[in-house]
Amino acid sequence: MSHRPLEDTIAQPVGTTLERYIMRTQSEFPYATGELSQLLRDIALAGKIVSREINRAGLAEVAGAFGQQNVQGEQQQKLDVVANIRFIRALTNGGQACAVLSEEEDGIVHTGNVQGKYVVAIDPLDGSSNIDVNVSIGTIFSIYRRVSPYGAPATEADFLQGGRRQIAAGYILYGSSTMLVYTTGHGVVGFTYESSLGEFFLSHPRMIIPETGSIFSCNEGNWHDYPEYVRDYLTRCKERRCSGRYVGSLVADYHRNLLVGGIYLYPPTQKNPDGKLRLLYESFPLAFVIEQAGGRAEAGPGRGRVMDLIPTHFHQRTPLFTGSYSLVDELLGMETT
């Protein structure tokens, strides 16, 4: 008597690991020589460590403010510092990144890997002010092939190439589960972390954002500082009974809309006429992902697509309107209607 049906029931396949997926799809990577594969593994490793630190934050006394401000003039949280150290250390030890640009650092962090072919721009822990109230937060990253000579330190030009020169980008969401989502320019894939096995497993093999949706995500507390076209658009959303969903963590709000359809808005305001989100390590990578998922990312009427913006300095800011294609398209038409 065969026991195969019972065996199939009690020993179901666990799925495709990140490692196996990278090996299978390495031919899609630019220059396909293995370095980019290793770089993604390094980011995933740091993400596992940060996920652990977040999950034990209350017990390990690493929640709360660090007592200093970062280069943005924002209050650093203890986990901001922890995440920054973890990612820089992983990228340094991995050997493939010659330099890192972090939200938490004033300038380029040189890893000493002068033969490394890549540079990484990263927001190590976005939304960290939500740590103390147990709301989802995330990491955002962008990878470029360096343009400076091998064997020499990285330069400013390596990071100011523009969004179209990204060869990979993505984010890690630390929520009810930890997810790694990324693109190398061949669609968007998502991996969910299985902590008991210490592995990321492929859970979302082809992430496509719906053409439209019924969710808008923005801080309505800034309503009176928003441009008129944004207020008009939000009024239209409310008139058709769309749902407002906003937790104040960019990765969390963005991820929800990627899965179910919607629009995320971070408009210019009177206080921040050029927007508030950082171009290199927030808007560029998320724009790359959303375009690969069939969505749209714009800086606003007259400003152009986010991916086409030309960066001039490391911590440059921009407005961001991103999500389902038809919703962003509708917003862009509001200024002239």
Statement to judge: residues 89 and 130 lie in one domain = yes
According to the annotation, is 28 in a ligand binding site?
no
Statement to judge: residues 166 and 263 lie in one domain = no
What mean pLDDT is predicted for residues 37-64?
Answer: 81
Half-sphere exposure of 27 (CA within 13 A, CB side): 1
According to the annotation, is 103 in a ligand binding site?
yes
Residue 9 lies in a domain: no
pLDDT at 6: 52
Looking at every residue in the chain, the average pLDDT score rounds to: 90
Residue 47 lies in a domain: yes
According to the annotation, is 112 in a ligand binding site?
no
What mean pLDDT is predicted for residues 246-257?
Answer: 96
According to the annotation, is 219 in a ligand binding site?
yes
Statement to judge: residues 172 and 220 lie in one domain = no
Statement to judge: residues 259 and 170 lie in one domain = no
pLDDT tens sequence across 111-168: 999 999 999 999 999 987 787 788 899 999 999 999 999 999 999 999 999 999 999 9
pLDDT at 144: 97
Statement to judge: residues 70 and 180 lie in one domain = yes
pLDDT at 11: 55
Q: Are 151 and 176 in contact (CB under 8 A)?
A: no
Residue type, 261: G
Question: If pLDDT is split at 50, 70 and 90, which confidence band does 73 have?
Answer: low
The helix (run of H) or strand (run of E) holding residue 156 is: helix 156-159
Residue 12 lies in a domain: no
According to the annotation, is 264 in a ligand binding site?
yes
CATH number of the CATH domain containing 83: 3.30.540.10
Question: If pLDDT is split at 50, 70 and 90, which confidence band does 62 have?
Answer: low
According to the annotation, is 174 in a ligand binding site?
no
Residue 90 lies in a domain: yes
79 or 278: which carries more pLDDT confidence? 278
Statement to judge: residues 114 and 146 lie in one domain = yes
**Helices (runs of H) and strands (runs of E) counted in the chain:** 10, 17
Last residue of a domain, one of 181, 204, 227: 204
Statement to judge: residues 235 and 331 lie in one domain = yes
pLDDT at 67: 47
Last residue of a domain, one of 175, 204, 233: 204
Question: If pLDDT is split at 50, 70 and 90, which confidence band does 66 have?
Answer: very low
pLDDT at 13: 64
What mean pLDDT is predicted for residues 233-260?
Answer: 97
Nearest CA to 300 out of 314, 287, 312, 318 is that of 318
Residue 327 lies in a domain: yes
* Rounded percentage of the chain residues whose pLDDT exceeds 90: 77
Statement to judge: residues 147 and 235 lie in one domain = no
According to the annotation, is 187 in a ligand binding site?
no
Statement to judge: residues 46 and 177 lie in one domain = yes
Alpha-carbon separation of residue 132 from 58, 62, 307 (angstroms): 8, 10, 33
Last residue of a domain, one of 204, 233, 253: 204
Statement to judge: residues 42 and 82 lie in one domain = yes
Structurally, the chain folds into a number of domains equal to 2
User: Given a cut of 90, is residue 5 above it in pLDDT?
Assistant: no
pLDDT tens sequence across 195-225: 999 999 999 999 999 999 999 999 999 999 9
User: Given a cut of 90, is residue 24 above it in pLDDT?
Assistant: no
Residue 58: phi, psi to the nearest 5? Answer: -65, -40
pLDDT at 3: 54
Residue 1 lies in a domain: no
pLDDT at 74: 58
According to the annotation, is 129 in a ligand binding site?
yes
Identify the sign of the CA torsion 187, 188, 194, 200. Answer: positive
Lowest mean pLDDT among 81-95, 170-184, 273-287, 323-337: 323-337
What mean pLDDT is predicted for residues 170-185?
Answer: 96
Statement to judge: residues 161 and 252 lie in one domain = no
Residue 290 lies in a domain: yes
According to the annotation, is 48 in a ligand binding site?
no
pTM: 0.91
* Rounded percentage of the chain residues whose pLDDT exceeds 70: 87
Statement to judge: residues 177 and 295 lie in one domain = no
What mean pLDDT is predicted for residues 63-85?
Answer: 68
Residue 287 lies in a domain: yes
According to the annotation, is 265 in a ligand binding site?
yes
pLDDT tens sequence across 288-308: 999 999 999 999 998 999 999
Determine the structural domain holding residue 244 and report its residue range. 215-336
